Amino acid sequence: MKLRTTILCMMAAVAVCSTTAFRDAGPDKSLAKADQIEGIYIFTNCKPVQAYDYQGTVSQPTFVRNDFMGTYVHNLVKKLKEKYPSADGLLITDEDAKRGDAIKFK
């Protein structure tokens, strides 16, 4: 009887330790919602959490270095929609927004 009680106590201790060891440490503060332009999700300096397939790359020349980045992103979205109409998102791949990868979520 004493052995059975000892074994049950040990099993309970293992169960408690295993559930507290794998407890979530809190919310993932790096998660965010991506903005959309014309229905296309825009990812700048980040990657989507959801799995995706690479569709291709769109690019544009940079004429003026001090131009608004938003103008470049809008131009990339326009090219993306022409070249990859089934794409769901655009991953900006350089800091000047001259290039981006078209992606399709799985």
Q: What domains, with CATH codes, occur in the chain?
A: 35-105 (3.30.1660)
Q: Within the chain, which residues score under 70 in pLDDT?
A: 1-24, 62-68
Q: What pLDDT does residue 19 have?
A: 55
pTM above 0.75, yes or no: no
CB contact at 8 A, 77 and 40: yes
| Count of beta carbons in the 10 Å neighbourhood of residue 78 | 15
The C-alpha atoms of residue 39 and residue 55 are separated, in whole angstroms, by: 17
Please give the Cα distance from 50 to 57 (Å, whole number): 19
Q: What pLDDT is recorded for position 20?
A: 54
| Cα–Cα distance measured from residue 8 to residue 2, given in angstroms and rounded to the nearest whole number | 10
**Identity (one letter) of the amino acid at 34?**
A
Q: pLDDT tens for residues 81-102?
A: 999 999 999 999 887 788 999 9
3-state secondary structure of 102: strand
